């Protein structure tokens, strides 16, 4: 089938009937036992050729001819990668290569195959896509002490359970934790870890120790998430009506709370960690006990659009019903009403002295959240704003819009630098910005924009970066709803 696909990749419409004839021929082969066809978990059909037939076909080629053929196919797989990407960045749709890359590589470059199956990045990606059986198939091709030890761990954890591609998140986390690494390629790893971005696609380069604290597989279509003040658990909400509470130490689901609506759009954790606030589409905010999961009444705040944290238990929310900044526990208004409705993209300086918010039409306002005094109104922005960020002391503002990210000094608005980034949902600290860049996260200086580090941990495009309330942890979430919690102090030593 591989040969057929390679030869017929540019087939024209006049020859497509021959493809159908080939498929009919394969059906005949199955009837006489030359191949076995089975439907996989993803609904696609897989062909297995008996080993005896494999040997018969292989006997027609010399060892050099076979190695050359396998090498050409590995080169074809390499062409699917962007320059500098590791093998774990193969496109999700490249199903054949996820299943058979190691097999081809074993024939043309056994040393590279042996290295590939021992890297956590590849092991993790295989388990995420193809389950335990997918990784076991790779390990069986490479006979080494490392591969045998890894296979033994997998069998022990699975303990007779189904090894297929649809592992639940808890079992997946348990398996990967038992293998000695997080459930995603780490941005930094020891000599057993995921290679950093090499200069040539598919090559391996080793990075220093991991900054990853935890990896969580959130539900599909997660809209919002929040880390507890003590950084031991995380809450996530989305399109499934459930409030999901995760334990960061075990990377397992602690509990679920059934919300009032099919679509939950916002969540936050109280500064003291005692309750969770959620807001559904068209509903007022609700509070849930963080331990029992029971709803707490009364909860006075109305429809909360967003909320942000400051020092000493400071918590500011935007009430979309009244158009006011309020204290969520009491709905007490903080200062005067904004001059425009529909405020969003709230950002609060770490010292609690400056609150930034974006209004409709690209208007950015700066407030003193304690007194409610309007500090400044920035010029209207020409493009849709996706994220605002403030320096801890309010001395600069970062503005991420549809096309770029700019850092401007306050109050004079002198531009420090501009990054050409699209739809940027970045995170800010005093010294660096975390900026999504495809499957990577760029760490850039807040003073110059210089690239300080690159976090290569996700296997899908990163869509959101956020800092924890205490600014000690960075959270990054990708398109596949995998969330990674990083130790901020280890990102830029």
Contacts of 273 (CB under 8 A, 6+ apart): 228, 229, 230, 290
Q: According to the model, what pLDDT value does residue 261 have?
A: 74
Residue 102 DSSP SS3: helix
Give 184-239 pLDDT, tens digit per residue: 433 333 323 334 444 345 544 333 336 888 888 898 889 999 999 999 999 999 98
Give the predicted TM-score (pTM) of the model.
Answer: 0.64
User: Could you report how far apart the first and last alpha carbons of the chain are, in Å?
Assistant: 50
Q: According to the model, what pLDDT value does residue 305 have?
A: 83
Q: Mean of the per-residue pLDDT values for the chain?
A: 81
Give 68-123 pLDDT, tens digit per residue: 888 888 988 888 887 778 898 888 767 788 989 999 999 899 999 999 998 888 98
Q: How confident is the model at residue 336 (pLDDT cuts 50, 70, 90)?
A: low
More confident residue, 8 or 212: 212
Q: How confident is the model at residue 416 (pLDDT cuts 50, 70, 90)?
A: very high
Give 342-368 pLDDT, tens digit per residue: 889 999 999 999 999 998 888 899 999
- What is d(CA 370, CA 208) in angstroms, rounded to the nearest whole number? 43
- What is d(CA 379, CA 383) in angstroms, rounded to the nearest whole number? 12
Contact 35, 29 (CB under 8 A): yes
Give 301-315 pLDDT, tens digit per residue: 777 888 999 998 899
Q: According to the model, what pLDDT value does residue 425 have?
A: 92
In angstroms, how far apart are the furthest CA atoms of the chain? 84
Q: According to the model, what pLDDT value does residue 192 have?
A: 30
Q: Residue 317 pLDDT > 50, yes or no?
A: yes
Q: Residue 26 pLDDT > 70, yes or no?
A: no
Give 43-73 pLDDT, tens digit per residue: 556 667 666 666 666 677 788 888 888 888 8
CATH topology of domain 61-178: 1.25.40
């Amino acid at each position: 089938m591989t040969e057929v696909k390679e030869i017929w990749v540019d087939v024209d419409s006049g020859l497509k009937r021959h493809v159908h004839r080939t498929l009919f021929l394969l059906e005949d082969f199955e009837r006489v036992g030359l191949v076995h066809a089975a439907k996989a978990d993803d609904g696609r059909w897989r062909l297995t050729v008996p080993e005896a037939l494999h040997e018969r076909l292989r006997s027609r080629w010399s060892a050099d001819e076979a190695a050359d053929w396998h090498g050409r196919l590995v080169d074809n797989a390499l062409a699917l990668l962007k320059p500098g990407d590791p093998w774990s960045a193969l496109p999700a749709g490249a199903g054949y290569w996820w299943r058979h890359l190691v097999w081809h590589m074993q024939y043309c470059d056994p040393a590279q195959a042996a290295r590939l199956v021992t890297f956590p990045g590849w092991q993790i990606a295989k388990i995420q896509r193809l389950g335990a059986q997918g990784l076991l198939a790779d390990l069986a091709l490479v006979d080494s002490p490392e591969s045998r030890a890894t296979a033994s761990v997998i069998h022990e954890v699975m303990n007779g359970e189904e090894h297929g591609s649809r592992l639940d998140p808890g079992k997946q986390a348990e398996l990967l934790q038992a293998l000695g690494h997080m459930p995603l390629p780490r941005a930094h790893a020891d000599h057993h870890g995921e290679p950093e971005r090499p200069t040539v696609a598919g090559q391996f380069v080793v990075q220093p120790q991991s900054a990853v604290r935890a990896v969580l597989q959130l539900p599909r279509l997660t809209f919002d998430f929040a880390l507890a003040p003590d950084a031991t658990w995380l809450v996530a909400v989305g399109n499934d009506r459930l409030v999901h509470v995760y334990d960061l130490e075990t990377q397992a689901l602690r509990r679920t709370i059934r919300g009032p609506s099919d679509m939950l759009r916002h969540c936050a954790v109280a500064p003291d960690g005692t309750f969770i606030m959620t807001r559904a589409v068209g509903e007022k905010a609700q509070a849930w006990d963080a331990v029992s999961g029971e709803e707490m009444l009364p909860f006075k705040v109305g429809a909360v659009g967003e909320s942000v944290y400051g020092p000493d238990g400071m918590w500011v929310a935007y009430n979309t019903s009244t158009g006011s900044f309020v204290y969520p526990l009491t709905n007490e208004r903080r200062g005067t009403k904004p001059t425009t409705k529909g405020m969003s993209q709230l950002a609060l300086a770490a010292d609690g002295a400056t609150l930034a918010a974006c209004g409709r039409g690209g208007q950015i306002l700066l407030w003193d959240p304690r007194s409610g005094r309007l500090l400044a109104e920035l010029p209207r922005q020409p493009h849709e704003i996706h994220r605002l960020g403030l320096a801890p002391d309010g001395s600069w503002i970062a503005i991420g819009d549809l096309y770029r990210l700019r850092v401007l000094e306050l109050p004079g608005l002198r531009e420090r630098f501009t990054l050409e980034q699209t739809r940027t949902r970045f995170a800010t600290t005093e010294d660096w910005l975390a900026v999504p860049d495809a499957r990577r996260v760029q760490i850039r200086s807040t003073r110059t924009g210089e690239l300080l580090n690159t976090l290569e941990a996700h296997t899908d495009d990163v869509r959101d970066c956020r800092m924890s309330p205490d600014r000690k942890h960075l959270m990054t979430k990708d398109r596949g709803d995998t969330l990674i919690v990083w130790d901020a102090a280890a990102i830029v030593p």
